[in-house]
């Protein structure tokens, strides 16, 4: 196991994003969702948004499958693109591709994924971790809420289903082991990935709040939070160089 100055990679990633995770869960959209207050129009836009995010993520992951950092986290059963295509067909019809579009926040998210994939593939780990581990952790609960709130009958819920992963807890432990045994990952790399993961959470928050109709407020929060977080996290990073 790669033991770093502040502990294993996976633990630093978990603890380093704990605050951002809580903030994401406290957006209006997510809080309302957890209460079972789900607007169908907003929800299907969320599914469309996720299609663009995962299409970008999984395309870059495939392109970088030979990368020593990206390749190991391409674990079987995680990919969401096909599931989202099925859900888009359910909510938008057979001509779903002609109807859906990425919102401003979604496009910003997609652009960032492509940017880090091209400029510094190690940072793609941050986006992969933020989305897929969150999906595995809350997928069953959120899927059940969406089913009841929207009156769905086992269709339109493929995004939350992981048929190849029967033991989610064990799978997440395996994922963490992959992170902790990566070679040539030093403390500076970990710090940079934690910073990027926090930014990934902010991009998710902006996307959620945009759907809820709070885009202008969220954008200001995103910019201010990103600037503040960048300064704080870079200061933290310098301590271990």
Q: Pick the more confident residue, 161 or 4.
A: 161
Domain boundaries, the chain: 3-238
pLDDT of residue 84: 98
Three-state DSSP at 226 gives helix
Range of lowest pLDDT (14-23, 182-191, 225-234): 225-234
What pLDDT was estimated at residue 2? 45
CATH architecture entry for 3-238: Up-down Bundle (1.20)
Q: Which residues pair with 4 in a beta bridge?
A: 7
pTM here is 0.86
3 state SS of 3:
strand
Q: Is 84 in contact with 50 (CB distance < 8 Å)?
A: yes
Residue 7 DSSP SS3: strand
| pLDDT given for residue 138 in this prediction | 85
Task: Give the pLDDT confidence of 33-59 residue by residue, as tens digits.
Answer: 999 999 999 999 999 999 999 999 999
- Tell me how crowded residue 83 is: count the other CB atoms within 10 A of its CB: 21
Measure Cα distances from 129 to 30, 197, 222 in Å. 19, 8, 20
* Residue written as token pair 């990566």: 182
Residue given tokens 């406290």 in the structure block: 26
- Residue 229: its pLDDT value, please? 54
Q: Whole-angstrom Cα distance, residue 44 to residue 182? A: 37
Q: State the CB neighbour count (10 A cutoff) for residue 92.
A: 17
Share of the chain above pLDDT 70, in %: 86
């Amino acid at each position: 196991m790669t033991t770093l100055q502040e502990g294993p990679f996976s633990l630093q990633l978990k603890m380093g994003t704990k605050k951002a995770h809580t903030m994401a869960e406290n957006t209006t959209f997510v809080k309302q969702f957890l209460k079972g207050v789900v607007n169908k129009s907003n929800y299907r836009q969320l599914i469309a948004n996720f299609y663009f995010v995962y299409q970008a993520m999984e395309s870059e992951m495939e392109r970088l499958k030979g990368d020593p950092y990206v390749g190991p986290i391409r674990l079987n059963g995680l990919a969401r693109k096909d599931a989202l295509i099925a859900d888009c067909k359910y909510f938008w019809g057979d001509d779903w591709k002609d109807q859906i579009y990425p919102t401003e926040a979604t496009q910003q998210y997609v652009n960032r994924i492509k940017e880090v994939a091209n400029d510094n593939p190690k940072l793609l780990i941050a986006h992969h971790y933020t989305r897929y581990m969150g999906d595995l952790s809350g997928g069953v609960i959120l899927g059940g809420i969406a089913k009841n709130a929207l009156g769905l009958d086992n269709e339109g819920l493929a995004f939350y289903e992981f048929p190849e992963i029967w033991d989610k807890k064990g799978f997440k432990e395996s994922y963490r082991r992959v992170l902790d045994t990566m070679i040539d990952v030093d403390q500076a790399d970990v710090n940079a990935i934690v910073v990027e993961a926090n930014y990934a959470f902010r991009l998710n928050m902006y996307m959620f709040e945009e759907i809820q109709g709070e885009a202008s407020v969220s954008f200001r929060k995103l910019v201010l939070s990103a600037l503040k977080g960048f300064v704080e996290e870079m200061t933290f990073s310098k301590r271990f160089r």
